[in-house]
Amino acid sequence: MNDAIRYANPFRLIVTGGGTGGHTYPALTAIRTLQARLAAGGGALEVLWIGTPDGLEARVAPAEGIPFTTVATGKIRRSANPLKMVSPANVRDMARVPLGVVQARKVVGDFRPDVVLATGGYVAVPGGLAARMRRAPLVLHEQTVRLGLANRKLAGSATRIAVSSESTLPLLPEAVRSVAVVTGNPVRPEVLTGHPDKAITALRLHGFDRRLPTLYVTGGAQGSQQINDVVRDALPWLLERANVVHQCGAANHEALRGNAAGLPPALAARYHLTPFVGPELPDVLALADVVLSRSGAGTLAELTALGKSAVFIPLASSAGNEQAHNARHLEEAGAAVAIVGEVTADRLRSAVGPLLTDPERRAAMALAARAHGRPDAAERLVDVILSASRSITGARG
């Protein structure tokens, strides 16, 4: 019997999580995939997203036509010094959490979901606790190697815990390992469908030398000052060995363009500087032989699903130092290179040089990356969501 027929029609899902793209886009991809799965069997999906008014989800959900509501939540400002954790801002924010739980409990009670999916971020805590209070099945999804703070708080209440890596399993509290399953981190399907020739046409990269590898540099939508600076310092050296597509963010575009104006014409033809890469991203990724970037969970999921060799410069200020853990995890498997600590042009040259000049080494790293990729992660997560709903005695009707 098709999954879509086994459940109440429509299937009702609450999603809670967000703040950043790392928590928001996996949830959105799961929603799209679940909707398609149900529709294929003649079923339908009703979704409600619980988020914060200033998180990325507040823009993404309405743009996708997904009903959206907010609850109060509090952000914990972490510090290595325990005394600094008891700051006025932390105390004030934590006082908002009980209010958020009360609000979320009403939302869950009114909507009566078949499953609540929590993808992390501070807003997931009230929604997850409300699911427990209302006896709604709770599925957690963790994007990083180690459980984030919100998911750690909710783990004991979860019906299922979906993780992105096998290496996460031994890090889970022993009491919840039996409900954990490795799904991977959902990747937007369009990312997997790029074509290199389309990137050449869309970005007018006709000066690129196709006999050379292409390096794609990105610091995310806003760009990264640290990555921009180190690439600027090593740019002539890089362009002697590769074509470079450099997505730098709007704030640094003019200064970097001025710096590139001094390049010899032969090297300048192999350098494409852009503040932002939009719909053409799948094609740029298809063109890239090596990627230089941060090591957020979404980036790792995309690059491993595509099987790309990569050099990561982790964001040092990421919560729980998760980006460094992500990068080291792949580096230990031979699936990436991590530049942790001081970032200099010399260290960049040492890290990226062997990948640009040795095709066999580049191919071996790409193969190792692909072994860690899970392009079917969204389908696996949907399986977990549907299996969690089976834990209800009888269907909601």
pLDDT reported for residue 82: 52
Residue 292: exposure state from Cβ atoms within 10 A (0-12, 13-18, ≥19): buried
pLDDT reported for residue 73: 87
366, 329, 349: which is closest to 166 by C-alpha? 329
d(CA 166, CA 215): 29
Q: Which two tokens stand for residue 358?
A: 């040795």
In this prediction, residue 149 has a pLDDT band, given cuts at 50, 70 and 90, of confident
pLDDT reported for residue 316: 83
In this prediction, residue 395 has a pLDDT band, given cuts at 50, 70 and 90, of very low
Residues sharing a CB contact under 8 Å with residue 376, sequence separation 6 or more, in sequence order: 184
Query: 19-28, 153-162, 368-377: which range is least confident on average?
Result: 19-28
d(CA 289, CA 147): 31
pLDDT reported for residue 319: 65
Say which residue, 46 or 1, is predicted with more confidence.
46
Render pLDDT for 5-25 as a digit per residue (tens, 0 to 9): 456 689 999 999 998 888 999
pLDDT reported for residue 152: 92
d(CA 158, CA 225): 39
Rounded to 5°, angle at Cα 276 from 23 and 236: 120
CB burial readout 304-324, b (16+ within 10 A) else e: bbbbbbbbbbbbeebbebbbb
Q: Would you say residue 84 has pLDDT above 80?
A: no
In this prediction, residue 394 has a pLDDT band, given cuts at 50, 70 and 90, of very low
Render pLDDT for 228-264 as a digit per residue (tens, 0 to 9): 999 999 999 999 999 999 999 999 999 999 999 999 9
Looking at every residue in the chain, the average pLDDT score rounds to 91
Q: Would you say residue 132 has pLDDT above 60?
A: yes
Q: Would you say residue 65 has pLDDT above 70?
A: yes
Residue entry with tokens 């990226």:
352
CA 302 to each of CA 112, 186, 310: distance values in angstroms, whole numbers, following the listed order = 34, 9, 11
Residue spans per domain, the chain: 3-186+375-389, 189-372
Q: What is the average per-residue pLDDT within 70-76?
A: 79
Residue type, 107: V
Q: Does the domain made of 189-372 have the CATH classification 3.40.50.2000?
A: yes
Render pLDDT for 166-179 as a digit per residue (tens, 0 to 9): 989 999 999 999 99
Say which residue, 330 or 4, is predicted with more confidence.
330
pLDDT reported for residue 203: 97
Render pLDDT for 184-198 as a digit per residue (tens, 0 to 9): 999 999 999 999 999
Q: Which CATH class is domain 3-186+375-389?
A: alpha beta
Render pLDDT for 333-353 as a digit per residue (tens, 0 to 9): 999 999 999 999 999 999 999
Q: Would you say residue 396 has pLDDT above 50?
A: no
Count of other CB atoms within 10 angstroms of residue 153: 15
In this prediction, residue 72 has a pLDDT band, given cuts at 50, 70 and 90, of very high
In this prediction, residue 356 has a pLDDT band, given cuts at 50, 70 and 90, of very high
pLDDT reported for residue 49: 98
pLDDT reported for residue 77: 45
Q: Which two tokens stand for residue 326?
A: 């992500």
Q: What is the average per-residue pLDDT within 252-277?
A: 96
Cα atoms in the 13 Å half-sphere on the side-chain side of 129: 17
Q: What is the average per-residue pLDDT within 97-105?
A: 92
Angle between helices 345-357 and 359-372 (to 10 degrees): 100
Q: Would you say residue 267 has pLDDT above 70?
A: yes
β-strands 243-247, 11-16 pairing: unpaired
Residues 301, 215 contacting (CB under 8 angstroms): no
Residue entry with tokens 């009360």:
102
Domains 3-186+375-389 and 189-372 share a fold: yes
Q: Would you say residue 220 has pLDDT above 50?
A: yes
Per the document, the length of the chain is 397
